[in-house]
Structure 1
């Protein structure tokens, strides 16, 4: 893990006070545990197979820290921090945004899963993603695999955090919103307009071609980057909060890569 990334994460981690009367065993260094979480995210390895010889600690230790840090909002704060830095570097374009979703198999079921219409009714989940004009992920939502895409359009817009980084009002709403035919619904077009956003939702029955795809391909690229992390290609977690912690952490890593490339 880069020292620059750790310098941004460390202040966000909650401080756990140590009882001097019952000190117990010393807590494993947080940076090593975080590297273990990233190792699981990148490789998709099972928690119990996490190689302790690399200094990550046990899989259960990494799992507990991931849970605790997610409950403390560390990953969401990190994502928002990196988005603010991207805006300060003039790397965010809110003139338009795009939304899409992708289905993954949920091997063990659990909350936010459902019978998949594209996988013979097996349990699955969906990653719903909204990105700005360059494909930088703004937020993601995890639902059951049987949820209609259009039902998550408004929750996605509402979940976009206020992005600071410059003087004045924080960015929150794009000017235009692009989506494919799965979002074709007049009621939701009206709802999007109430956010003072111009909807560009492809209509069913129209021919394929460049059209809206000129602006919409960035969200498909962002989903491909998100699923480059092997832990996000198949959902192994029963608990939806643990899975979503990985999703948010993956979005933050994508933002960090874009920022690091620009600063180099």
Structure 2
């Protein structure tokens, strides 16, 4: 195979694989046919999400049988493997001082293709798919598969929490009509960075920057109770209501305009993850497998940073 063809089909670099490969499950204690070349299969998973081809059209000559690629991704999505890989990389990054704990949160819409929507589901799915607790697939797949009917039709929504440089810390998938602000607590609960050595995982950012969709009193009180600085502007109707009350309306919430200018890092993170066409448009029936594609992208992003760090 030519170098051009290799670069086209190679999804994970040598530096990334040196970090990710050892974190994947071994065959020790597993019954049945042993796993084949893990790297080849992972390359197939990345190829599928990057190009958005149907699983059946993943090139056999480069990645082996499509059934193997699909089943491995389904297994890793359902048993929390991709989440554990991301958490291990985050632990190394935190130990090296590479995580900026001034976090930004937002959500982005992805249109659900007809291949993703031919499943039985309620008309308005408000369930969320996340797997930070590494639960079995049946316990994390929402009833409506994270697809809801919004203004754009049948859509799904990815909620991101990113660090101060726009690197992903948490990924939650819901139906597209789900309110962004209502998901803030669950998105923050999905942040879990284990310690290298002893100690409980870190779950609390220093600050959270978000747009006006997150400006509810419930969210501000939740952040205050957790000791997290809120960098969230007030809505115009909230300002007007407070002023109508006069002195009884209280003081306006503190707002750091300079810190808020850095919130665009979460928008840039969406621009990067949507370079994978299988994320920009949802083709997966299961929310857990769709979300796992975004988690895999996050793991590759952190592996790139760690591989470039001396």
C-alpha distance in 2, partners of 1:256/1:125? 27
Q: Mapping of 1:21-170 within 5 angstroms?
A: 27-54=35-62, 56-94=63-101, 96-107=102-113, 108-109=116-117, 110=119, 111-117=145-151, 119=152, 122-165=153-196, 170=201
| Contact map agreement 1:140 1:247 (CA 8 A) in 2 | yes
Cα RMSD between the aligned structures? Answer: 2.2
**Which residue in 1 is equivalent to 2:295?**
248
Are 2:18 and 1:12 aligned?
no
**Count of equivalent residues:** 251
**Which residue in 1 is equivalent to 2:227?**
196
| Contact map agreement 1:86 1:92 (CA 8 A) in 2 | yes
- Using the TM superposition, give the Cα deviation of residue 169 of structure 1 relative to its aligned residue in structure 2, in angstroms: 6.0
Deviation per CA, 1:136-182, whole angstroms, max 9, x where unpaired? 11111000000000111000111100342487664321121110011
| Contact map agreement 2:20 2:303 (CA 8 A) in 1 | no
Distance 1:14 1:258, change over 3 A: closer
Unaligned runs of 5+ in 1: none
- For the pair shown, the structure with the greater C-alpha radius of gyration is 2
| Contact map agreement 1:115 1:146 (CA 8 A) in 2 | yes
**Which residue in 1 is equivalent to 2:14?**
3
Deviation per CA, 1:85-117, whole angstroms, max 9, x where unpaired? 2223221111x2110000000112251110122
C-alpha distance in 1, partners of 2:55/2:166? 31
| Contact map agreement 2:107 2:158 (CA 8 A) in 1 | yes
- Using the TM superposition, give the Cα deviation of residue 242 of structure 1 relative to its aligned residue in structure 2, in angstroms: 0.9
C-alpha distance in 1, partners of 2:70/2:30? 20
- Using the TM superposition, give the Cα deviation of residue 49 of structure 1 relative to its aligned residue in structure 2, in angstroms: 1.2
Question: In structure 2, the residue corresponding to 1:224 is in which secondary structure?
Answer: helix
C-alpha distance in 2, partners of 1:18/1:237? 27
- Using the TM superposition, give the Cα deviation of residue 6 of structure 1 relative to its aligned residue in structure 2, in angstroms: 2.4
| Contact map agreement 2:16 2:304 (CA 8 A) in 1 | no
Unaligned runs of 5+ in 2: 1-11, 120-144, 240-256
| TM-score using structure 2 length | 0.74
**Which residue in 2 is equivalent to 1:183?**
214
